[in-house]
Amino acid sequence: MIRKKALLTALALSGSAFAFAALPAATPALAAGDAIRDLTLIARDQGANPQAFQAAQLIAQAWGKLGLNVSVRGLPRLQQSELVWYNRDKWDMTMWQMVGRPERSDPDELVYNLFHSSTAESGYNFIGYKSEEFNKLAEAQRVETDKEKRRELLRQAQAVLDRDQPNMFLVYPKRSFAFDNAVFAEDSVVEQPGLGIKNIWSYLGAQPLGDQKDMILNSTDPLNAINPLYISGATDSWVTELIWDRLLRISPEGLAEPWAAESFEWIDQTTIDVVLREGMMWHDGNPVTVEDVVFSFEVPNVGDEVPMYQPFVKNIESVEATGDRTVRFKLKGPSASFLTSSLAKVNLTPKHVWEAVIDDLANRPENAESHQEDLPIGSGPFKFVRWKQQEEVVLEKNADHFSPPNIDRWIIRIVSNTEATVSMLRSGEINFLSDYNGDPEVLADVADKDGDIAIVSSTDIGFQYATVNHRRPPFDDVAMRRALSLAIDRNLMVAAAWNGSAEIANSPVSTALSYWHSDDTDAISGSLEEAQQILKDAGYEVIDGRLHYPDGIKETLEGP
């Protein structure tokens, strides 16, 4: 489709060239189409994401130099989502972001869901990018179980995105975390690429140095739920992954490795045998059995009671216990991300607790997401103690676990005021800064004065980007998108908007995922002249400072 359009544009161009040759007296202005309408770039309001808002203003300026009239409009998150998601043909440009999560250590989720055509109608491809070539690569990498080959497919997919510029990726932000190194031994805190020190390996490994054996963290947002069958807010997932075990876990190196499973073995491309670790117990004292494992992977497909986990078990044909400690999974088709996005994602859920709940829910409109256990029961390295909404969640060490933590309690405080978190870190009200959106320099200053605060800053798996609506011309034109992307000076952006704490981005696979990230995409850099040349070559023309469509193209849409 896009090719066809480019061809037509080229034809139109050569046509107008002929016209020039034949009629040298004709005024050049007649060779251009309509002026491009005024455009609005939507961004989160300044207070909510000051960096992205500043970036949006720099972008609007840069695009202004191309002859577009772009104004920035700040919106609260929900209004932005509402417009971009539920009014897919009503907006032109928006800023957006993806955040890092452990399961995004596998590139599949972000590569496939953001750009595959199947998600354009109602899923996350809200920009409406459609490329058969990309679809094929995205599908192929999903089923390729040979790691090397899969990497090659992902490189090709990233190259297509680099060429088509569906989004204008800006930066992979660096996130700052900090902890009190008088409380925890500095070398016992683990950094996981893309996630920083806020990960289960830190919580398990952190070695208390003195009497303070509680790790006290912070979160800006309150929790929605603590439920093994519900993927809710980000903070919720920090808690659920500690209470509930998974068969595999993402290691600090970003690979899915045995956890509750002692081992696993691929029998063929669609069959995998898993051996359950011996002697595991639920927090209520019952043993963890293979029936529990089978239940955990079957329950998302029971009616519509566990909708959020359905995508992660969709590819499972059958799961059955083949012995006291062995389970066999049969898949519908080969899947490269099965280890990461199924075995390391699905929580092991006690059948004796949840079976009756699910049965009961079958006759009611609510689903499992509405069921909040008073005392959540998992088998993980931490046990649930209490949850005080808007205040804190307290977990305690599960000494019987096969990988028990060194700390006694893991407490997450809900702190709505970002500035106060730094003060709390200093006073010891918290000793692990796990959620910080403030100025990194303020944090560095405080750490300097305090002397006992270690700061760790890591490049995120997530990224910040600007994007355009492919359903609305001229953004269906690759040349236009390439020009828009090249006009952005990403280095300036890193320095001016992110205060230097970010890396420039041009791929949905972060540099933090060094194995999967394609270095070939790193070449993108800002050059206004190049962008202007691309537009010129594609037939766009600047008249009186205003960019016009190529010859013969009418503006069919209205500006704001």
d(CA 187, CA 373): 36
Residue closer to another protein (CB basis): 289 or 469:
469
d(CA 204, CA 201): 5
| Token pair recorded at residue 298 | 């079957």
Name residues contacting another protein, limited to 436-475 (CB under 8 A).
Answer: none
Residue closer to another protein (CB basis): 364 or 554:
364
Neighbouring-strand partners of residue 388: 392
Chain length of the chain: 560
Residue closer to another protein (CB basis): 192 or 218:
218
Among 50, 123, 334, 526, binds another protein (CB under 8 A): 123
Handedness of CA 439, 440, 446, 448 (dihedral sign): negative
Residue closer to another protein (CB basis): 3 or 77:
77
Task: State yes or no: residue 206 binds another protein (CB under 8 A).
Answer: no
In angstroms, give the least distance from the CB of 86 to another protein.
5
Nearest of 83, 62, 126, 90 to residue 558 by alpha carbon: 90
Task: State yes or no: residue 301 binds another protein (CB under 8 A).
Answer: no
Does residue 461 come out as left (phi exceeding 0), alpha (psi in the -120 to 50 range) or beta?
Answer: alpha
Residue closer to another protein (CB basis): 264 or 312:
312
Among 153, 190, 229, 231, binds another protein (CB under 8 A): 231
Name residues contacting another protein, limited to 371-430 (CB under 8 A).
Answer: 372, 388-392, 394, 409, 411, 413-417, 419-421, 423-424, 426-427, 429-430
In angstroms, give the least distance from the CB of 109 to another protein.
6
- Whether 538 and 550 have beta carbons less than 8 Å apart is answered as yes
Only one of the segments 238-246, 276-284, 300-308, 375-383 lies at the binding site for another protein (rule: CB under 8 A); that segment is: 300-308
| Token pair recorded at residue 560 | 């704001």
Write phi, then psi, for 454 (nearest 5 degrees): -100, 130
In angstroms, give the least distance from the CB of 332 to another protein.
17
x/- contact string, 59-78, with another protein (CB under 8 A)? -----------------xxx
Residue closer to another protein (CB basis): 365 or 545:
365
Beta-strand relationship, 167-180 and 463-468: antiparallel
Residue 192 DSSP one-character state: B
| Token pair recorded at residue 457 | 């800053």
DSSP secondary structure string for all residues of 498-525: STT-EEE--SSS-TTSTTT--GGGGG--
Nearest of 201, 239, 233 to residue 217 by alpha carbon: 239
Task: State yes or no: residue 109 binds another protein (CB under 8 A).
Answer: yes
As a whole number of Å, the CA-based R_g of the chain is 26
Residue closer to another protein (CB basis): 255 or 442:
442
Apex CA 85: angle with CA 219 and CA 231, to 5°? 40
Among 34, 284, 317, 366, binds another protein (CB under 8 A): 366
Residue closer to another protein (CB basis): 380 or 462:
462
In angstroms, give the least distance from the CB of 429 to another protein.
6
Task: State yes or no: residue 367 binds another protein (CB under 8 A).
Answer: yes
Residue closer to another protein (CB basis): 20 or 85:
85
CA distances from residue 76 to 57, 83, 94, 390, 492 in whole angstroms, order as listed: 17, 11, 13, 21, 26
Which amino acid does the sequence have at 120? A
SS (H, E, C) 404-468: CCCCCEEEEEECCCHHHHHHHHHHCCCCEECCCCCCHHHHHHHHHHHCCEEEEEEEECCEEEEEE
Task: State yes or no: residue 307 binds another protein (CB under 8 A).
Answer: yes
Among 71, 79, 318, 527, binds another protein (CB under 8 A): 79
By the criterion CB under 8 A, which residues form the site for another protein?
A: 76-79, 81-82, 85-86, 98, 109-110, 113-114, 121-124, 214, 216, 222, 224-225, 230-231, 304, 307-308, 310-311, 365-367, 369-370, 372, 388-392, 394, 409, 411, 413-417, 419-421, 423-424, 426-427, 429-430
